[in-house]
């Protein structure tokens, strides 16, 4: 799997980046993010949202947040009507400061499945219907080389 298979790619976006997910998200589709964690990173986050409003803030179906300060972990959550749900924290961090990474988000009917550098990391059950998700954002301490959207066939 690589960005070469993508139907749509975004190269070297300025961070914070927000953009539409072409055609929305459907089971079997994949989002690939290739980037590098800066040496002094504190945290970054990927958000899959329902629209791109900031006031009020759009619902976030998947907030995926690797954290380098304190106990290394990845926090996932959803934002519904401007309120965060219950955090799902994995006390494992496959990202390294100063190192490049490839993150793959596989869309499934019931969950998002995330892999980092070729290894499965976590699964996050949908809290918001998939058909409402149409916007991708990435922000925080991260450099992004490419974002690719790979259709389901
Ligand atoms: O801290 O946790 C996820 O549960 C909050 C953070 C918030 C999220 C949230 O402040 O930060 O990570 O998108 C956000 O608002 C980010 C930047 C209890």
Q: Which residue has the CA at smallest separation from atom 1 of ligand 1?
A: 84
Taking the centre of ligand 1 as the mean of its atom positions, its distance from the CA of residue 4, in whole angstroms, is: 32
Q: Whole-angstrom Cα distance, residue 141 to residue 42?
A: 6
DSSP labels for 28-50? Answer: T-EEEEEEE--TT--BEEEEEEE
Cβ–ligand 1 distance for 84 under 6 Å, the answer yes
Under DSSP, is residue 140 helix (H, G, I), strand (E, B) or coil?
Answer: strand
Taking the centre of ligand 1 as the mean of its atom positions, its distance from the CA of residue 2, in whole angstroms, is: 30
Is residue 20 within a helix (H) or strand (E), and if so which, with residue range?
strand 17-20
The predicted-structure confidence for 88-117, as pLDDT tens digits, reads as follows 999 999 999 999 999 999 999 999 999 999
Is the complex ipTM higher than 0.95? yes
How confident is the model at residue 1, as a pLDDT?
A: 65
The predicted-structure confidence for 2-33, as pLDDT tens digits, reads as follows 787 778 999 999 999 999 998 999 999 999 99
How confident is the model at residue 61, as a pLDDT?
A: 98
Query: Which atom from ligand 1 is nearest to the alpha carbon of 139?
Result: 17
**Whether this model's pTM surpasses 0.95:** yes
């Amino acid at each position: 799997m690589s960005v070469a298979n993508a139907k749509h790619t975004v190269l070297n976006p300025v961070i914070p980046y927000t953009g539409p997910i072409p055609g929305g998200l459907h089971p079997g589709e994949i989002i690939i993010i290739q980037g590098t964690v800066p040496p002094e990173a504190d945290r970054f986050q990927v958000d899959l949202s329902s629209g791109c409003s900031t006031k009020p803030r759009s619902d976030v179906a998947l907030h995926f947040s690797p954290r380098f300060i304190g106990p290394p972990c990845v926090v996932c959550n959803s934002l519904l009507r401007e309120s965060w749900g219950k955090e799902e924290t994995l006390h494992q961090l496959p990202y390294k400061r100063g190192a490049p990474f490839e993150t793959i988000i596989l869309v499934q009917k019931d969950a998002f499945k995330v892999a980092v550098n070729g290894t499965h990391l976590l699964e996050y059950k949908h809290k918001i219907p998939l058909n409402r998700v149409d916007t991708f954002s990435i922000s925080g301490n991260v450099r992004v080389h490419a974002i690719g959207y790979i259709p389901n066939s």
